[in-house]
């Protein structure tokens, strides 16, 4: 059991400036954003801030009719908010571990539920998983980010990155798949024999197959997604 005096606890847990720039991990599960402008973040992720910061939920027509229709059809479980101003913003998502990715003219697909925040300089678009929609609890969609800037993703516990080569494709459980490199296009496979063996339609009977050259990020938890209004 950890026991502290009040002063010891404050000294151990107080916020510290590490001078790491816009995105800074205050703890492995808490992201500090040194805001001087605006960023996109997962709606409801703010836990604290100081300074002059305003929050605005993503507008229905803010990104055009096409993207609005994609959001409606995908049944996505995540909405975005825009944080704008000057100050320190602290965000988190259910105690999940946070990783900061630096994109340098790169492209990456991220499960919409695992995207915590990203710079507005990055281009983004919603990509629906048409062939798997409705087959997994809560549905499944992802966000494609490309360009140069920072993004923060979340995982339950430590993520694992698997390298995909033309000689060695990678198969994953969709509910445990967090992100993959932009050059990869997953193929969905239904394992009928395994489905029959276990006697029910579980997530394991549906697999994502990644072929080509790139990487896939997975987490050691099969996450169930819930749609938010």
pLDDT, averaged across the chain: 83
Higher-pLDDT residue of 148 and 17 is: 148
Q: Which fold has domain 21-218?
A: Double-stranded beta-helix (3.60.160)
According to the model, what pLDDT value does residue 176 have?
93
For the chain, what percent of residues have pLDDT higher than 70? 77
Over 80: is that where the pLDDT of 1 sits? no
Domain locations along the chain? 21-218
How far is residue 118's CA from residue 138's CA, in Å, rounded to a whole number? 23
Residue closest to 26 by CA, chosen among 152, 141, 142: 152
**What are the structure tokens assigned to 103, written together?**
């994109």
What's the pTM? Answer: 0.84
What value does the mean pLDDT take over residues 42-59? 91
Tens digits of per-residue pLDDT, 163-222? Answer: 999 999 999 998 899 999 999 989 888 765 655 554 444 445 788 999 999 999 999 998
Beta bridge partners of 39: 83, 119
Residues near 221 by Cβ (< 8 Å), separated by ≥ 6? 156, 157, 176
Of the candidate ranges 107-121, 143-157, 196-210, the one whose mean pLDDT is the lowest: 196-210
Quote the distance between the C-alpha of residue 209 and its chain's center.
20
């Amino acid at each position: 059991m950890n026991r502290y005096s009040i002063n010891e606890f404050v000294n151990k847990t107080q916020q510290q400036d590490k001078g790491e720039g816009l995105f800074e991990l205050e703890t492995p599960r808490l992201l500090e954003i040194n805001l001087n402008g605006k960023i996109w973040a997962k709606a409801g992720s703010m836990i604290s801030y100081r300074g002059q910061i305003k929050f605005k939920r993503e507008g229905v027509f803010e990104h055009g009719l096409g993207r609005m229709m994609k959001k409606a059809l995908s049944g996505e479980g995540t909405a975005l908010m825009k944080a704008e101003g000057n100050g320190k913003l602290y965000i988190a998502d259910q105690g999940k571990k946070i990783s900061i990715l630096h994109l340098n003219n790169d492209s990456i697909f991220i499960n919409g539920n695992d995207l915590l925040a990203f710079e507005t300089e990055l281009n983004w678009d919603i990509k629906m998983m048409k062939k798997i929609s409705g087959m997994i609890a809560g549905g499944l969609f992802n966000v494609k980010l490309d360009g140069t800037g920072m993004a923060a993703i979340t995982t339950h516990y430590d993520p694992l990155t698997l390298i995909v080569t033309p000689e060695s494709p990678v198969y994953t459980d969709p509910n445990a798949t967090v992100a993959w490199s932009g050059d990869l296009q997953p193929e969905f496979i239904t394992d009928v024999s395994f489905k029959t063996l276990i006697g029910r339609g579980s997530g394991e009977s549906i697999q994502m197959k990644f072929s080509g050259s790139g990487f896939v990020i997975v987490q050691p938890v099969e996450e169930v997604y819930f749609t938010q209004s």
